[in-house]
């Protein structure tokens, strides 16, 4: 029998979503890199949460606060006991990001539709171009931010000095310091190229198959405990440029492989690579064999 995921209940298939898309206890949430994709076509009944305009504060480099998160959920008809299923473009990259924010504020039942938009399309399921549906408001109560999944700079520095595991999920070129950003990604500048000393490089999209679904538990285990040498019980911090790609890796480690202590460092390279006085390492460090661009589809 194939090795199961640690928490298989957090992954649902496109078929499950098709069957439950109008279930009042389920809210399907699309979250994409491209802000217009939802309008081009979405899972019928799904609402849209934009990573940038809905989840980020505009005046502080910060996520929306607890009250705004509660308002967002209330306005989308999401109650505290709603099953929220996220999906999106690019291997569910932004879906994982949105789920991370929902987990930050303690939403209990969050799931990812395996394969996202790509799998839905490949399965020939129907797209809706209707305006975003309006559901009855709820009285959502958000919890205080759960900092067990979020790392800040000083903590990362301590973690690094203690020689604890860090996963850099950017492309090999960004990791070695040759590139300050991915050629295909938006420029989010940093003054220094390289990585946090001691971090191992496992580009995030290596966790995904060509159809956007997650790799099997066995293959993921090979990647993270084999190649990266991570230990399931240790505290792991994942980072990228702004904490988006690393939320995909956070999801994989925490839910598919069952690592109990995984944090996303959302300050990531745009903070670390611009911070006065923190150490940086250049060059290959620990090996990563496959370029991210091979599978990212970005």
Partner 1 sequence: MSATLAERADAIATEFADLDPRERLELLLEFAEKLAPLPPQYAAERDAGHNRVHECQTPVFLWVDLEDGRVHVHADVAPEAPTVKGFVSLLADIVSGATAAEVVAFQPNLVERFGLAQSLGMVRMRGLQAIAHHIRRKVADAAAK
Counting Cα atoms < 13 Å in the Cβ hemisphere of 39 gives 4
Q: Which of 81, 184, 210, 289 binds partner 1 (CB under 8 A)?
A: 184
CB contact at 8 A, 278 and 157? yes
Q: Which is nearer to partner 1, 23 or 54 (CB)?
A: 54
Q: Which of 34, 62, 123, 146 binds partner 1 (CB under 8 A)?
A: 34
**Which of 9, 14, 4 shows the shortest CA–CA distance to 220?**
4
Active-site annotation, residues: 240
CB contact at 8 A, 19 and 264? no
- CA distance linking residue 273 with residue 267, whole number of Å: 10
Told to check if 280 binds partner 1 by CB under 8 A, we report no
- DSSP E strands, 96-235: 110-113, 166-168, 200-201
- Per DSSP bridges, beta strands 236-239 and 262-264 are parallel
Told to check if 163 binds partner 1 by CB under 8 A, we report no
Spell out, one character per residue from 117 to 146, where the chain touches partner 1: x when CB under 8 A holds, - when not: x-----------------------------
Q: Which of 50, 71, 109, 211 binds partner 1 (CB under 8 A)?
A: 50
Burial 162-183 (b: 16+ CB within 10 A, else e): eeebbbbbbbbbbbbbeebbbe
Q: Which of 134, 148, 187, 274 binds partner 1 (CB under 8 A)?
A: 187
# of chain residues touching partner 1 (CB under 8 A): 22
Helix (H), strand (E) at residue 283: none
Binding to partner 1 (CB under 8 A) within 57-86 occurs at 58
Q: Which two tokens stand for residue 93?
A: 């990259």
Stretch that binds partner 1, among 3-11, 21-29, 184-192, 232-240 (CB under 8 A): 184-192
Q: Which of 30, 33, 266, 292 binds partner 1 (CB under 8 A)?
A: 33
Q: Which is nearer to partner 1, 3 or 61 (CB)?
A: 61
CB contact at 8 A, 236 and 261? yes
Q: Which is nearer to partner 1, 1 or 60 (CB)?
A: 60
Residues of this chain that bind partner 1 (CB under 8 A): 33-37, 39-40, 50, 52-53, 56, 58, 89, 117, 183-188, 242, 298
């Amino acid at each position: 029998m194939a090795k199961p995921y640690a928490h298989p209940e957090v992954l649902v298939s496109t078929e499950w979503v098709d069957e439950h898309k109008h279930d009042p206890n389920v809210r399907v949430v699309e979250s994409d890199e491209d802000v217009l994709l939802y309008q081009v076509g979405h899972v019928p009944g799904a609402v849209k949460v934009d990573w940038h305009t809905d989840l980020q504060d505009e005046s502080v480099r910060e996520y929306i606060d607890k009250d705004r998160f509660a308002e967002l959920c209330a306005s989308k008809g999401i109650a505290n006991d709603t099953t929220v299923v996220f999906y999106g473009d690019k291997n569910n990259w932004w879906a994982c990001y949105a789920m991370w924010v929902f987990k930050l504020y303690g939403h209990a039942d969050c799931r990812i539709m395996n394969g996202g938009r790509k799998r839905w399309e490949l399965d020939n399921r129907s797209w809706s171009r209707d305006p975003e549906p309006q559901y009855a408001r709820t009285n959502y109560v958000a919890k205080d931010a759960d900092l067990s999944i979020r790392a800040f700079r000083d903590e990362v520095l301590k973690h690094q000095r203690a020689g604890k595991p860090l996963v850099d999920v950017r492309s090999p070129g960004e990791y070695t310091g040759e590139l300050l950003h991915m050629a295909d990604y938006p420029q989010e500048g940093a003054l220094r190229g390289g990585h946090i000393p001691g971090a191992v490089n496992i580009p995030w999209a290596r966790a995904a198959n060509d159809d956007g679904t997650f790799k099997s538990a066995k293959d993921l285990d090979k990647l993270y405990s084999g190649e990266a040498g991570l230990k399931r019980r240790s505290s792991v911090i994942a980072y990228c440029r702004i904490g988006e790609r690393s939320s995909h890796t956070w999801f994989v480690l925490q839910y598919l492989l069952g690592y109990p202590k995984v944090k996303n460092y959302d300050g990531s390279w745009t903070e670390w690579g611009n911070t006065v006085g923190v150490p940086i390492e250049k060059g290959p460090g620990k090996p990563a064999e496959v370029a991210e661009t091979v599978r990212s589809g970005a």
